[in-house]
C-alpha cells in the first residue's frame, strides 16, 4: 500500500531532506585519497546527532554503521572500515536520517582524486539517469514510465543498471511501497499521485547488471567486479509540482 502524505507531513520531510543535504555536503569534502571510510562515517553520525536527528541505517537489517560507504565495485551498503580511499577510485555515499518521525534518504557518488574518461562518463550517466527519472515523477505518469526512462538512458550510454536493487517509498518507515525498479516497461505499475514521497536511486554499472552479496553479508557488489555508481534523491509530488527534498543546491525545482 502506497502511503499518501499530507502537506504537513511533506513539510516535515522537506526539513529532514535539507538537514540531510547539508550534512552530505560536509561529508563530500572529506572524500579524499588517504581518508578511511570509518572516519567519514564517524563524522556523519556526529553531524546527524548534533541536528537532533537519528541515523536511519544504523541497526537496520543488522547494518552496523550510520552511513553506507561503497567503493568501486561495491554498489550499495558498503560497511565503513579502516580501508583508505585511493586515487582514481569512486566512493558512493548513501545516508539517511530520522527527523520528527520521518525518514529522508539520499546518495551521491564522487571521484577520489583524478579519474579516467570512462569513469567520468559513468558518473555523468548516473547523475543524468536520476534527473531524467525525477522529471517523469509527475501526476498521471506511472512508476514504469520512470523505470523505463532510466533503463533506456543508461543502456544508451553503453552501461547497465544493477538488477535486483531498486528505489522505494519513504516516510515514517525507511522503506515503504512502492518498489521502484531501474528497468521496466512504460505504463506499468501504480500511477503517480499528489502526496506521494519516494526515493529514486539509479545504480549504474560498467559491466553486466548482475549482483552478489559480499563476504560481510551486508554489501552488494557487481558480480563481475565492474565499477558502479549510485545516485539518489528523496522527492515529493505536490500540488506545486515535483520537489527534490534532498536538493544540495545543484538541482532545479522541477515544477
What whole-number distance in Å separates Cα of residue 112 and Cα of residue 72? 10
Confidence of residue 252 (pLDDT cuts 50, 70, 90): very low
Average pLDDT, the chain: 96
Identify the sign of the CA torsion 30, 34, 38, 42: negative
How far is residue 209 CA from its own chain's centroid?
Answer: 17
253 lies in a domain? no
| pTM for the predicted model, two decimal places | 0.96
Question: How buried is residue 215: exposed, middle or buried, by Cβ count under 10 Å (0-12/13-18/19+)?
Answer: exposed
194 lies in a domain? yes
CB neighbours of residue 238 within 10 Å: 19
228 lies in a domain? yes
3-state secondary structure at position 149: helix
Looking up residue 235, the CATH number of its domain turns out to be: 3.90.230.10
140 lies in a domain? yes
What whole-number distance in Å separates Cα of residue 213 and Cα of residue 120? 26
CB neighbours of residue 61 within 10 Å: 9
H/E element holding 107?
Answer: strand 102-111
Helix axes 37-50, 7-28, angle to 10 degrees: 140
Please check whether residue 236 is in contact with residue 4, taking contact to mean a CB–CB distance below 8 angstroms.
no
Model confidence over 188-198: pLDDT tens digits? 999 999 999 99
Confidence of residue 131 (pLDDT cuts 50, 70, 90): very high
Domain count, the chain: 1
Whether the pLDDT of residue 4 is over 60: the answer is yes
190 lies in a domain? yes
What whole-number distance in Å separates Cα of residue 234 and Cα of residue 137? 11
**Pair type for strands 90-99 and 67-71:** antiparallel
255 lies in a domain? no
Whether the pLDDT of residue 183 is over 70: the answer is yes
pLDDT in the model for residue 11: 98
217 lies in a domain? yes
- Segment 117-131 shows an average pLDDT of 97
Domain range for 18: 7-244
What whole-number distance in Å separates Cα of residue 175 and Cα of residue 3? 11
1 lies in a domain? no
Please check whether residue 70 is in contact with residue 77, taking contact to mean a CB–CB distance below 8 angstroms.
yes
Model confidence over 23-78: pLDDT tens digits? 999 999 999 999 999 999 999 999 999 999 999 999 999 999 999 999 999 999 99
Whether the pLDDT of residue 255 is over 90: the answer is no
What whole-number distance in Å separates Cα of residue 180 and Cα of residue 141? 13
Whether the pLDDT of residue 148 is over 60: the answer is yes
Amino acid at each position: 500500500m502506497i502511503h499518501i502524505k499530507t502537506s504537513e507531513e511533506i513539510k516535515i520531510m522537506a526539513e529532514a531532506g535539507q538537514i540531510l543535504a547539508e550534512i552530505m555536503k560536509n561529508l563530500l569534502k572529506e572524500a579524499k585519497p588517504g581518508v578511511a571510510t570509518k572516519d567519514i562515517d564517524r563524522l556523519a553520525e556526529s553531524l546527524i546527532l548534533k541536528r537532533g536527528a537519528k541515523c536511519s541505517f544504523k541497526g537496520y537489517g543488522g547494518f552496523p554503521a550510520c552511513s553506507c560507504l561503497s567503493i568501486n565495485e561495491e554498489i550499495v551498503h558498503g560497511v565503513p572500515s579502516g580501508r583508505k580511499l585511493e586515487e582514481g577510485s569512486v566512493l558512493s555515499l548513501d545516508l539517511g536520517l530520522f527527523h520528527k518521525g520521518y525518514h529522508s534518504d539520499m546518495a551521491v557518488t564522487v571521484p577520489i582524486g583524478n579519474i579516467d574518461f570512462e569513469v567520468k562518463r559513468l558518473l555523468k550517466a548516473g547523475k543524468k539517469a536520476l534527473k531524467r527519472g525525477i522529471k517523469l515523477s509527475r501526476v498521471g505518469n506511472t512508476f514504469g514510465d520512470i523505470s523505463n526512462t532510466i533503463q533506456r538512458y543508461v543502456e544508451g550510454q553503453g552501461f547497465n543498471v544493477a538488477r535486483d536493487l531498486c528505489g522505494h517509498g519513504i516516510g515514517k518507515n525507511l522503506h515503504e511501497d512502492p518498489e521502484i525498479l531501474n528497468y521496466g516497461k512504460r505504463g506499468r505499475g501504480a500511477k503517480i499521485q499528489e502526496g506521494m514521497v519516494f526515493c529514486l536511486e539509479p545504480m549504474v554499472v560498467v559491466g553486466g547488471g548482475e549482483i552478489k552479496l559480499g563476504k560481510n553479508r551486508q554489501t552488494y557488489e557487481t558480480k563481475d567486479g565492474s565499477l558502479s555508481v549510485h545516485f539518489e534523491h528523496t522527492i515529493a509530488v505536490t500540488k506545486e509540482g515535483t520537489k527534490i527534498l534532498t536538493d544540495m543546491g545543484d538541482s532545479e525545482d522541477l515544477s
